Structure 1
Amino acid sequence: MVLLVGTHFFGRAASVMRISPHILHVAQPVDGGVARVVTDLVAAQLAAGLRVTVACPEGGMLADALRALGCTVRRWDATRSPGHRLPAEVRQLARLVGDVGPDLVHAHSAKAGLAARLAVHGRLPTVFQPHAWSFEAVGGAVARLALAWERFGARWATRVLCVSEAERRTGERCAIPAVWGVVPNGVDTDRFRPDGDSARSGAGPLVVCVGRLCRQKGQDVLLRAWPEVVRRVPGARLVLVGDGPDADRLRAGAPESVEFAGGVPDTAPWYRAADVVVLPSRWEGMALAPLEAMACARPVVVTDVDGARESLPQGHPPSCLVPPEDPDALARALTALLRDEPLRTSLGALGRAHVLVAHDLRHATAAVTDVYRELLGTAATPVVGPNEGRKCITT
């Protein structure tokens, strides 16, 4: 059956709630796109008058960014991946949930989703947001184990909240028996805009890739494609913005035309400096970087992974959506855009207009609050259709 839940701006959503609920976000990792989503969501919820606490590890950008917002942060000593420390992490989180006494728990990404569902065990409304499926990140027996857990752990998630319809379809195809929700990612269109400071750009056409330096984001594939781009577009330069576990390996042997900018507090100047923004991911739920680039009116080249097609506007050329793990196709797409300035300009304007309508942060954060309202019984009962099966909310 399908439940249709309308979306509202936060001021209206907050006015409908008679009692401000207490939301506990549980987050791991503490850097990258997940940390940005959590920070943006918490900022909007605090502004709406909700009571918000976040449990996360120290280190990275997340805890400091949340404290700067005035959010209560509780230290949760969790590693990024499951391991022998998991039982202790679950016990610590269970004690923390008892101390905080939230009305609803919202767990972000695979590790937090695993620990939070084990700690809460269905005793409170629990939202699990995968931000890309864990079983896509690994292979063999580990992938089978991760998928088995997701099938089992779905019983303790009141809602599995996906960031794209493709991510939801992947879960359904893998027989995860969830109660689904879909809220596409959004970006701050005031922060990410065409005008403003640009990063230093030097001479020659510039391609920028923003993302954690790790296998998921596929920078190794991009570096294999890059020599062909330079051969066909002399003077072209590539900047990799971000840090991560693969930084040293990627730097080794990289040509002079490739610059590693490292982690930066504000990526918007790099988007504005770019002629083309690329993200060659191996898997995603719905990546933030292409949305941020389009909000800055920059053309994008992305791999055809979960959420990618949904993030692009109608009329975007198919050549800018390439297969993952295909450096030749990636080189052709980048070369074609770098050689066509009018197309880059038109795609930039098209992307900006699309993000304003479909991926504005205010719509995304308000839609998440509507999910909370429904789970906490603070919204009118939705109209339910006659279809059978597990429920799905579409916002």
Structure 2
Amino acid sequence: MSRVLVVTNDFPTRRGGIESFVLALCERMPANEVVVYTASMPGDQDYDRTLAFPVHRDPSRILLPTPAVARRVSKVFRDEGCDRVVYGASAPLGLLAPRLRRAGAVRQVALTHGHEVWWARVPIARSLLRRIGDSVDVMTYVSEWCRDHIAPALSDEAASRMQRLSPGVDTSRFFPGCGGAEVRRRLGIAPGAPVVVCTARMVRRKGQDTLVRAWPAVLSHFPDARLLLVGDGADRRRIQRLVDDRGVSGSVVLTGSVPWDAVPAFTDAGDVFAMPCRTRRWGFEPEAFGIVFLEAQACGLPVVIGDSGGAPETTRLTRSRVVSGGNESELAAELCGLLQERRKPQSVSELSGDDWGSVVRTWRHLLSD
């Protein structure tokens, strides 16, 4: 029996898009075919008991490709009878690939997301990324934009072996009417009120601050509108201050963090989804893809997408828009236009190629080649 060891820093109890992606891939494999090796995190023991597959936690809080970590990973690889390895993020853990090849790995797949883009730009990191590409059997990419920025750092042979593996949307969880009415009721939002929703970590790249700055212009056209900001993060206090300074606290709802299984209902509570993401730090902090845009479109919502990185590639529905991430006047105009048409139904059939079934088929193919 083929068994896969997933070596990753990106795993619950940490929360984020990469963590959710890696977990979903593991959960969609037979439980006796996957083993996870990851870092120690608060609450990890209780969480791991809920999973059907084994999880090994390194003593460290962050996995680095040190000799000590390499020894511990190799031991788990052998003890669990694994023959394949997946790195939850190529850099830096893909540097373990030669050691695991010697331990018996017959197939190694390294996932890339967004941070490998800056590895591809910095001279020393670029050479390490090239080494990873030559050491694994295949390196994946989540968007064409990511591939275009990562491939030049790789050897021609490694670049030719890159294959796309983007996150999928679970259409059994995200669909029109999956609980939004109840969320509105609990939050005291009138059933007919226009609602713009954003479900994302509160970090500056995601653009919640641009939404708040654009909101007074939206209210001038839709006085009863509500802005529903779902999530938590390092930028939350700044966002709350901005809400207060702009005098829109009565129309903006900050929910804080919500349970993973509640996210579909909060998404469904909106009429329009907006995350005007922007690239920061001189191009080193882009939005690589943006699974939240697919989730919102699966709920039938038009989306307003920031033009950062690979995010525009998530556009599926005809009434969705791409805007300049920091342009609040452009954002306000698009929000008003979409709210004006909010009762027009949208077909979600365009998302059929983005469901988890197609992603898992690609995933299994990558592991078996």
TM-score normalised by the chain length of structure 1: 0.75
Q: Does 1:368 align with 2:369?
A: no
Deviation at 1:258, TM superposition (A): 2.2
Q: Deviations over 1:51-97 (max 9, x none)?
A: 11112234379876664231111103455697xx9665555444444
1:114 to 88, 92, 96: 92
Counterpart of 1:109, as a letter, is: A
Counterpart of 2:366, as a letter, is: V
Q: Is there any run of 5+ residues in structure 1 with no aligned partner, and where?
A: 1-19, 375-395
Sequence identity percentage:
29
Equivalent in the alignment of 1:305: 308
Moved over 6 A (4+): 60-63
Q: Does 1:26 align with 2:11?
A: no
Equivalent in the alignment of 1:187: 169
Q: Does 1:102 align with 2:79?
A: no
Q: Does 1:57 align with 2:39?
A: yes
Q: Does 1:289 align with 2:269?
A: no
Q: Is there any run of 5+ residues in structure 2 with no aligned partner, and where?
A: 279-285
Q: Deviations over 1:111-140 (max 9, x none)?
A: xx412433654613221111223444x99x
Deviation at 1:316, TM superposition (A): 4.4
Aligned pair in 2 of structure 1 residues 144, 53: CA closer, same or farther (>3 Å)? same
SS at match of 2:21: helix
Map 1:72-111 to 2 at 5 A: 72-77=54-59, 79=61, 89=69, 92-109=72-89
Equivalent in the alignment of 2:239: 250
Q: Does the 8 Å CA contact 1:89/1:115 hold for their aligned counterparts?
A: no
SS at match of 2:92: helix
Q: Does the 8 Å CA contact 1:39/1:62 hold for their aligned counterparts?
A: no
1:162 to 141, 144, 167: 141
Deviation at 1:108, TM superposition (A): 1.5
Equivalent in the alignment of 1:222: 211
Deviation at 1:192, TM superposition (A): 1.0
For 1:71 and 1:358, how far apart are their aligned partners in 2?
A: 28
Counterpart of 1:169, as a letter, is: D
For 1:143 and 1:249, how far apart are their aligned partners in 2?
A: 31
For 2:89 and 2:307, how far apart are their aligned partners in 1?
A: 21
Equivalent in the alignment of 2:266: 270
Aligned pair in 2 of structure 1 residues 34, 109: CA closer, same or farther (>3 Å)? same
Q: With CA pairs under 8 Å and 6+ residues apart, which has the higher RCO, 1 or 2? A: 1
For 2:360 and 2:42, how far apart are their aligned partners in 1?
A: 23
Q: Does 1:153 align with 2:135?
A: no
Q: Does the 8 Å CA contact 2:273/2:304 hold for their aligned counterparts?
A: yes
Counterpart of 2:265, as a letter, is: P
For 1:61 and 1:210, how far apart are their aligned partners in 2?
A: 24
1:241 to 230, 239, 245: 230
Q: Does the 8 Å CA contact 2:7/2:93 hold for their aligned counterparts?
A: no
